[in-house]
Structures are given as structure tokens and as C-alpha cells.
Amino acid sequence: MIAPIDATHDPARPCWVVGAVGHRDFPIQNLPLGIFSAGDERRGGIAIGDFVLDLRALAASRLLDGPAQAAAEAASGPTLNPLLGLGSVPRLALRRRVSELLSEREQRGRVAPLLHAAADCVLHLPAAIGDYTDFYAGIHHASNVGRLFRPDNPLLPNYKYVPIGYHGRASSVRSSDTGVVRPVGQRKPPEAAVPLFGPTQRLDYELEMGAWIGPGNDLGSPIAIGEAEGHVAGLCLLNDWSARDIQAWEYQPLGPFLAKSFATTVSPWIVTAEALAPFRIAQPPRPASEPAPLPHLFDAEDQARGAYAIRLEAALLTANMRASGLPSHPLSSGQMSAMYWTIAQLVAHHASNGCNLRPGDLLGTGTISAPTPDGYGSLLEITNGGATPLALPNGETRSFLQDGDEVILTAHAEAEGFATIGFGPCRGTILPARA
């Protein structure tokens, strides 16, 4: 069941936190969950404007009761896994009570001491990730990449029947602003007689969304498509860094390995399923000539409200641009609704064989590209496989990422009649390869 729209989404809801009303990412209508530290132990927090509400302190404040109190207590430790495992009822109760506390001016004296300036906080991964799976649900990206290698048949025959995915490396997932060391590996340029070993020459980013799993399922017990929404706690931004030359050499026959396991970057806040309720939209219909989803992947409500009205953007800031005080250069802008499969379909298919998902597991959507070049979600697409370098305003060009380049992903959920909410940036800067 999709979360309800209630008073917490009211665009006119007041908030006494300075700067929170109309905040670009974290107005009172958002209230995302994360893990922070302020020179001390890690614990759960809620972003509000340019501040972080301390959930451990809130749990001790006697301002909560019932399920809201249980949720705050579960979020008082160094990861949100205990809270994610509780499901939507305590999470919704916490959201509603925090929304009241931050909107009622008479509560300011009791709640203001529980706020930390975000500038004084360090943000961490919101959960201990047991497993990370990356899908390939962006059909325009899949078509564009396939066209580079198979011009006459870009999509493989299974693409429109099964959500394609692979198991990624959970240990190398990092929060935003963590540097990305250029990976080394085997690659075989066309002119080379034997493979070479060294730093990748074709380092790329991939603009994705991530879905955080809440309650899991027992091993051997599939998740029905109609119940899949209840297993999704919320979303984040995700950058699936990719070494294209290493990937091209190693991916057959078992798929990506070292080309992607060196780093994945996520935005540190979980924008909850409850916060995203007003931004649910219909999944774009498939052409009549394409196959309908198989029964284990079809649910009428999911088709009616299973997609999201979320605008995605990517930008590049090179070392030279940074040194010159220039702003980042926009790379692309598109909509999350360009996905061929819904988040619920990804969850249901993942568990359809009885695979057990657990609280804090992370699913990547795969690169989300628009149908047109202004919305391509990777340099591989933007530069036509490197053949057409991107011209930057300062005279630099890029086919793929160079050391010192910073990729900045942003996303905002937008719907008429509701306050826009954001995810915060997902940033990563390329560091030189290590000997």
C-alpha cells in the first residue's frame, strides 16, 4: 500500500526553524532520515532546513510516545537498520509527531536545543548495507548503450520481460563527499595484442536512484507485487561509478565485476516513502506491441501510482573550474519516470525466487536517462562512447572523467499543489590511482 497524503504534506504548514520554509531540499514537508555525528557518537537524525534534529535526544525528551517513541529509540544507534525493520507504522508516527513539534511555535523552546547546525555535522551511510543489488531499469540508457555495441538490436530479448540486475559490492558503498580513487584493472584496447593492467582510462558516472529496504522477507518466501511497497522505506540518489574499459573486457560471460565494485556513492538522507506520497504517478504505459509484465510483476495499483515525479540532474565541476571559481556545468536533466520497471517490480522480482531481503539492503535502479541527449545519465551516452567529447564552457573537453573532476547529482520531487522536496546532493571527486 502506498503511504497516505496527510497534514504533513500541507504546503502551507508553518515551521519555526529558521530557513526551513521553502528550503530547496529539506522543508518541513520532507523530514528525511539519516545518520550523523557532531564530534561524538553516530546516531539517527532528521534533516530540517539547514539543521539536523537529533533523534537520540528526541527519544530522551519525553516529547514522544507510542510508535513514534519506538521509532526514535530504534534510530538512536549508529545505523538506521533497527528503524527500517519496524516498517511504516512507527515511521509514519514519528514523521507526524516531528512535523507537529517543528510547526507549533510553543514547542520551540523544548525542541530547539535538540537541533544541530548541519554545517557542524558529519553525515554517514544511513544503514549498514548487508546486500546491494544494481538493476538496469532505465530503458533509454539500456537502448543507448546497446546501440553502441549492437546497432541493429540494442536490447537483448529478455529486457522487456525481466528486470535485469546484478549483485554489487556492498562494502564499497560510500556516502556523498567521499573521494573516489581511480581504479586499476585489466583492459584490452582494440590495438593491444594482450590485455594491459593499469588505471582505467574511461571512468564514468551513472545517474541512478537507490531504494532502501525496510522490513525484509524470510528465505524461501517471495514478496508479492501487491505487497512490495511495504518493503521500501525510502529513496536516495546513487552514483554507480563505472570503469568502462575494464567493464568491456571483463563483463562476458558473468557481467560486471571489478569495473564497478571499487565505489558506489549515495546521498546520505533517506527520503521516506511517506514524504514521497504526493509525488506518486502512473507508470508510463507500454506500447501495445510490447509484452505486458508477467503476473508476478503486475499490480493495477502499482501501474496507477508506482512511478515517481522526481526530476534528476547531473553536473560536472573540474579541478580547473574549481580553481577559477566557476560554477559546475550541467550535464543532464530528466525524470525518474523514464524507468521501464517500477521500484515495486524490482523488489518483487528480486524476491520472486525466495531470495531474502533484509532491512538496510540497497537496490539501485540502473542509469536513468531521458529519451533525448539533454537527459542522458552517463558520459558513455553523452559522448557517444567517447567519440564526441563534451565541450565545457572554460575550453576543457571530456570524453570520460579525469582526476580532480567532481560529479554532482541532485534530485527534487515536484507536484502541483505541494512543496518541492529534495534529496540533498550526491557528490564524488575523482582521486588519482594508487600505486
| Interval 265-294: pLDDT, tens | 999 999 999 999 999 999 999 999 999 999
Average pLDDT on 234-262 reads: 96
Average pLDDT on 373-379 reads: 97
Asked if the model's pLDDT at residue 435 lies above 90, the reply is no
The residue among 109, 89, 98 whose CA lies nearest residue 33 is: 98
Asked if the model's pLDDT at residue 262 lies above 80, the reply is yes
**What are the chain's domains?**
7-124 (2.30.30.230), 132-431 (3.90.850.10)
| Interval 21-35: pLDDT, tens | 999 999 999 999 999
Say what the pLDDT of residue 197 is: 97
| Amino acid at residue number 131 | D
Average pLDDT value over all residues in the chain? 97
- Band of the pLDDT at 152, cuts 50, 70, 90? confident
Beta strands 51-54 and 397-398 are unpaired
% of residues, the chain, pLDDT over 90 = 96
The 3-state DSSP class for residue 139 equals helix
Distance set, CA 204 to CA 25, 148, 263, 402 (Å): 26, 16, 12, 9
Burial class (CB in 10 A: 0-12, 13-18, 19+), 353: exposed
- What CA–CA distance (Å, rounded) separates 243 from 188? 13
- What CA–CA distance (Å, rounded) separates 101 from 72? 14
Catalytic annotation present for 329? no
Say what the pLDDT of residue 127 is: 98
Say what the pLDDT of residue 151 is: 84
Among 9, 141, 231, 329, the active-site one is 141
Answer yes or no: are the C-beta atoms of 22 and 29 closer than 8 Å: no
Asked if the model's pLDDT at residue 1 lies above 80, the reply is no
| Interval 197-229: pLDDT, tens | 999 999 999 999 999 999 999 999 999 999 999
Say what the pLDDT of residue 128 is: 98
CB count within 10 Å of CB 220 equals: 10
Rounded to the nearest 5°, which phi and psi values hold at 100? -65, -45
| Interval 34-51: pLDDT, tens | 999 999 999 999 999 999
Chain centroid to Cα 219, Å, comes to 26
Say what the pLDDT of residue 396 is: 98
Asked if the model's pLDDT at residue 149 lies above 90, the reply is no
Residue labelled with grid coordinates 534530485: 411
Which DSSP state fits 194? S
- Band of the pLDDT at 2, cuts 50, 70, 90? confident
| Interval 95-122: pLDDT, tens | 999 999 999 999 999 999 999 999 999 9
- DSSP H helical ranges for 217-318: 244-250, 300-305
